[in-house]
Structure formats: structure tokens, C-alpha cells
């Protein structure tokens, strides 16, 4: 399977990686000098991830077997973006490897707080054949997450919402809704445009005015704008809402436990997730070893068995059963049902759009 992403890659290829300014209007302001050397063969690596069910799955699917194979202990910290940036600007981060979205890393590149990656220190990189836009000077992708529609299977009888137009149709699919706010992720304007009839391949550049007009139509039915990943599942389980946007994978444990909930894979918004090494990291060798381990197809497939993180390594899907692939919007049979966030567009417009969204939500 060949992954195709919609946004322009920030850097092209790995062999001749060249620096590129992601946000040219921002000046680099890193202050500390880097401690990143060989790492001295450390037997410890400290990783920052977002925790929760995702963090638990990383522990089971990656960190524990990695430690067993290499003898390197993996310690985990859960820090906010603000906390991480503050530490990195001081030049002494209390972590060696960051697991985060490529959009967040792109915001940090101009701050001069991330180490340029040496891809020769990642032996599995070439065979991984990552999508083009997951290969950048400071960041290497590993998976992606998807924001999509979830709903209560008890809310609509024998009907089930199949498109964003259905989400917007409070007549045919009555009930309260929930959507994310900018504290959780970038505003969900793409869903409004899809509901209004814009084809997926014509979304960008986003027609912001048209999107907000569409949002006006659904607003009376929005009970809650969620700001944490677990809240949609709570609202749906309590029957406080009948439909919600949600980060894919956040409902799986509830569904496995018998909760009458389901996903709709059509129209899912994909965002890439990856690894970066902060300047000043103390255990660089160990960080590279963990990156390398993560890009093995069998490891990528393994993590997907614990949590539906969509592998970036195409060969990983060959190691999953049809039942396991059915839970992954990134599997070949579902890939064309979704679309990729145009990070370049959002980096240029996120501030203005989020400000407008907050004013709109207050009115």
C-alpha cells in the first residue's frame, strides 16, 4: 500500500535532507546549548507521550519488548507542550525522545529546540518506506491518528449515520451532538465543509466563511465542545449526546466492554504522529535505538493490536488480521475514505481561525 498525503512535504526525501523553515515569520529562539552527543551507551531513555490508553499500549507494544531486547530501560513522562518547550529552551529537557503530532513539531522547528536527525542512525528507516511527508529534518513519522464520527447505536433505531451530512442532519438523526474545541485540536472546519458538499479532494484551502456558515446550522444541537480525548466517550456512554467527533481509538475499550457505540470511518481527518529528539537530550543513542525499533513492521503491527494506532509502515498491515485491520482507518481498504490534514495551511491560519472559533462559540 502506498500512503498518499495531501499536504506538501516540508522536506523531500531522507538521503539529501535539507533544512527548511516551517514558519518563516518566526525567529529561532532556542537558548541552551545541546548536550546531544553519542549518549554514552546509556541504558535508559526517557520518552514523553500523551499517556492514557495510548501510553499504556505503547508500554505493552513497544517499550517493554524494546527493554527486553536491548536492556535499555524506558521511562515515561507526560508533559504538556508548554512544559516541554520551556525545558527545551533552557537546553536541559528532562526527556530524550518526544512522541507527538507532526503539526506540533512543525510549530517548534523555528524555536531551534529539536535536533536534526541523522537517518544513518536509524537502520530500519530505509526498509520502512515511510510516506514522503513523514520524513523531515527534525522529525520522523511513525503512525497517524484520525478524528472521525462516533455515535450511539441505540439512538437511531436501524439507521446509522454514514456521512458528515448525516451528522449535520438533526431531523433525520435527532439528538445532541458534541464537537472538539481548539483546546483539544485544530478546529473541525473540514467536517463542516464536507457536510456542506465540498469533496474531500477539494477541501484545501479551506473556505473559512462557508465552514462557519455550516457550523451555524449545527450549533443549536451542540451540547458540549470537548477539550479532552476521553470526554466524547463519556458523553456518548451517558446518552448525553447521540453523535460526537472523536479521536479514533478512544472508544475501543468502551466498545469492547459492551458500550453501544460505533465509529463511522468515512470522512476521517488524518494527522501524522512521530518522534523527535530535543536539543540537550542526555541519552541520544538510546533515543535513536527506540526510534529504530518503532519503525519495524512487526512492532508497528504489534502496537496496533493493543491500540488502534494506524501504522505508517505499509508492510505492518500485512501482519494484521482482517478483523484487526477493520478497526484501522489507515488500512488499505479504508484509506481512501479519509483525508489528510494540510499542515502547511493550518500553520498559516490556525491562530486566526481559532480566534474566530472562540468568538463564534461565545456568541
**What domains can you pick out in the chain, each with its CATH number?**
39-144+271-326 (3.40.190.10), 147-268+343-362 (3.40.190.10)
Share of the chain above pLDDT 90, in %: 74
User: At a CB cut-off of 8 Å and minimum separation 6, what does 103 contact?
Assistant: 186, 271, 272, 341, 343, 346, 347
Whole-angstrom Cα distance, residue 29 to residue 111?
A: 5
CB 120 within 8 A of CB 63: no
Q: Which residues contact 2 (CB under 8 A, 6 or more apart)?
A: 314
pLDDT at 363: 76
Residue 4: predicted pLDDT:
33
Give residue 265's pLDDT.
Answer: 86
**By C-alpha distance, which of 42, 43, 57, 48 is closest to 88?**
48
| Angle between helices 297-306 and 284-294 in degrees, nearest 10 | 80
Q: What's the grid cell of residue 304? A: 496496533
Tens of pLDDT along 120-175?
A: 999 999 999 998 889 999 999 999 899 999 999 999 988 999 999 999 999 999 99
Query: Is-contact 102 141, C-beta < 8 A?
Result: yes
For residue 7, what pLDDT is reported? 33
pLDDT digits (tens, 9 = 90+) for 254-295: 888 899 999 998 899 999 999 999 999 999 999 999 999 999
Which stretches within 75-230 are classed as H helix? 81-90, 102-108, 125-128, 164-168, 189-195, 208-218
Least confident of 47-56, 61-70, 110-119: 47-56
In this prediction, residue 77 carries a pLDDT of 96
Only one residue has cell 456542506, namely 196
Identify the sign of the CA torsion 238, 242, 245, 246.
positive
Quote the CA–CA distance of 93 and 35 in Å, as a whole number.
Answer: 10
Name the helix (H) or strand (E) containing 143: strand 140-152
Dihedral pair phi/psi, residue 72, rounded to 5°: -90, 120
For the residues 109-118, what does the mean pLDDT come to? 97
Q: How many CA atoms, within 13 angstroms, populate the side-chain half-sphere of residue 258?
A: 0
Q: Kindly report, residue by residue over 172-222, the tens digit of the pLDDT.
A: 999 999 999 998 899 999 999 999 999 999 999 999 999 999 999 999 999
Percent of the chain with pLDDT strictly greater than 70: 88
Residue bearing cell 449535520: 168
State how far the Cα of 69 lies from the Cα of 89, in Å rounded to an integer: 33
For residue 246, which of 103, 150, 144 has the smallest C-alpha distance?
A: 150
- What digits encode the pLDDT tens for the residues 56-85? 999 999 999 999 999 999 999 999 889 999
Residue 346, C-alpha cell as written in the block: 493550518
- pLDDT of 29 over the 50 cut: no
Kindly write down the DSSP assignment for every residue of 24-78, as one continuous string: TTSPP---SPP--S-GGG-SEEEEE---HHHHHHHIIIIIHHHHHHH--EEEEE-
Q: CB under 8 Å to 78, separation ≥6 — which residues?
A: 48, 49, 50, 51, 55
**Which cell numbers hold the place of 205?**
484551502
Q: Would you state the cell numbers that stand for residue 248, as one nine-digit string?
A: 479514533
**Residue 27: Cβ within 10 Å count:** 9
Helix, strand, coil content of the chain in percent (nearest 5): 40, 20, 40
pTM: 0.82
Check whether 44 has a pLDDT greater than 70.
yes
Q: What is the pLDDT of residues 245-262, one digit of tens each?
A: 999 888 887 888 899 999
Amino acid at each position: 500500500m502506498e500512503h498518499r498525503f495531501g499536504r506538501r512535504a516540508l522536506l523531500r526525501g531522507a538521503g539529501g535532507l535539507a533544512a527548511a523553515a516551517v514558519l518563516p515569520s518566526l525567529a529561532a529562539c532556542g537558548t541552551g546549548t545541546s548536550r546531544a552527543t553519542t549518549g554514552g551507551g546509556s541504558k535508559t531513555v526517557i520518552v514523553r507521550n500523551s499517556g492514557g490508553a495510548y501510553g499504556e499500549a505503547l508500554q505493552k507494544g513497544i517499550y517493554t519488548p524494546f527493554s527486553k531486547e536491548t536492556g535499555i530501560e524506558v521511562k515515561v513522562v507526560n508533559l504538556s507542550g508548554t512544559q516541554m518547550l520551556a525545558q527545551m529552551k533552557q537546553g536541559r529537557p528532562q526527556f530524550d525522545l518526544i512522541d507527538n503530532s507532526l503539526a506540533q513539531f512543525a510549530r517548534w522547528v523555528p524555536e531551534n529546540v529539536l535536533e536534526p536527525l541523522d537517518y544513518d542512525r536509524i537502520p530500519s528507516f530505509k526498509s520502512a518506506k515511510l510516506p514522503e511527508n513523514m520524513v523531515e529534518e527534525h522529525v520522523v513519522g511513525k503512525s497517524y491518528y484520525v478524528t472521525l464520527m462516533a455515535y450511539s447505536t441505540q439512538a437511531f433505531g436501524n439507521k446509522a449515520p454514514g456521512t458528515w451530512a448525516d451528522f449535520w442532519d438533526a431531523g433525520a438523526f435527532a439528538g445532541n451532538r458534541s464537537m472538539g474545541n481548539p483546546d483539544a485540536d485544530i478546529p473541525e472546519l473540514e467536517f463542516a465543509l464536507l457536510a456542506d458538499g465540498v469533496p474531500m479532494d477539494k477541501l484545501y484551502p479551506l473556505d473559512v466563511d462557508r465552514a462557519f456558515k455550516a457550523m451555524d446550522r449545527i450549533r443549536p444541537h451542540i451540547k458540549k465542545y470537548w477539550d479532552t480525548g476521553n470526554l466524547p466517550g463519556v458523553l456518548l456512554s451517558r446518552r448525553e449526546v447521540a453523535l460526537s467527533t472523536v479521536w479514533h481509538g478512544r472508544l475501543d475499550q468502551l466498545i469492547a466492554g459492551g458500550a453501544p457505540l460505533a465509529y463511522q470511518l468515512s470522512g476521517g481527518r488524518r494527522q501524522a504522529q512521530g518522534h523527535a529528539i530535543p536539543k540537550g537530550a542526555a541519552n541520544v543513542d538510546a533515543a535513536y535505538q527506540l526510534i529504530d525499533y518503532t519503525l519495524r513492521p512487526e512492532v508497528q503491527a504489534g502496537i496496533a493490536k493493543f491500540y488502534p494506532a494506524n501504522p505508517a509502515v505499509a508492510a505492518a498491515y500485512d501482519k494484521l488480521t482482517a478483523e484487526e485491520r477493520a478497526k484501522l482507518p489507515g488500512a488499505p481498504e479504508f484509506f481512501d475514505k479519509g483525508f489528510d490534514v494540510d499542515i502547511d495551511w493550518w500553520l498559516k491560519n490556525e491562530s486566526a481561525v481559532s480566534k474566530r472559533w472562540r468568538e463564534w462559540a461565545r456568541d
